[in-house]
Amino acid sequence: MPQMLVLIGLPGCGKTAFAKRLAAHGHSWERINQDESGSRSLCEQHAAKFLKEGKNVVIDRCNFDEDQRKIWVKIAEDAFAPVDALYFDIDVKVCKERVKARTSHPTGVEGKFGSEVVARFDRLMTRPSIYEGFRFIHNIATH
């Protein structure tokens, strides 16, 4: 049975590094990343398609609040696939430093501008809850 894993966290927290490793080493894991595809609707279409094909899907985006996450839960439910969340609870200072050091990011979230984006997302970020429809929520924390 295919499953979905929704990554949640600030820019620079390690979501993409994790998702790339999972897709490279995990069997039948497809990485969905809006920064690279350029379109949320295309990401949604790919996620639904891969689940219907029996492939596992990892959603690699910030997913900073329930409104951002609920579409992924719905797509998984429509495919009768369990959906889990992995919450990267990484210190905002660490994320800012990582983003400041980035170069050639697809969305330009790097340098001083990137640090400001991290601060904005930090104000918007809400912790995921099982009441959103997740089967399990796993936390990765630095503090």
Q: What is the CATH number of the domain that holds 80?
A: 3.40.50.300
| Packing angle, helices 66-78 and 40-52, rounded to 10 | 30
Q: DSSP per residue over 16-77, as a string?
A: HHHHHHHHHHSTTEEEE-HHHH--HHHHHHHHHHHHHTT-EEEE-S---SHHHHHHHHHHHH
**What pLDDT, on a 0 to 100 scale, did the predictor assign at position 66?**
98
Residue 101, CB half-sphere, CA atoms under 13 Å: how many? Answer: 8
| 94 vs 110: which has the higher pLDDT | 94
Q: Say yes or no to pLDDT of 27 above 80.
A: no
Q: Is the pLDDT of residue 25 over 90?
A: no
Q: Is the pLDDT of residue 110 over 70?
A: no
- The total number of structural domains in the chain stands at 1
- DSSP helix/strand/coil, 128: coil
Average pLDDT over residues 101-116: 73
In this structure, what token pair is assigned to residue 123? 């104000």
Q: How large a percentage of the chain has pLDDT more than 90?
A: 78
| Mean pLDDT across 92-100 | 92
| Structure confidence at residue 35 (pLDDT) | 78
d(CA 20, CA 29): 10
Query: What are the structure tokens assigned to 75, written together?
Result: 């797509």
What are the pLDDT digits (tens) for 28-64? 899 999 878 778 999 999 999 999 999 999 999 999 9
> pLDDT at residue 14 above 80?
yes
**Span 116-132, pLDDT tens digits:** 889 999 999 999 999 99
| Pairing mode of beta strands 83-89, 56-59 | unpaired
Residue 36: which domain range?
Answer: 4-141
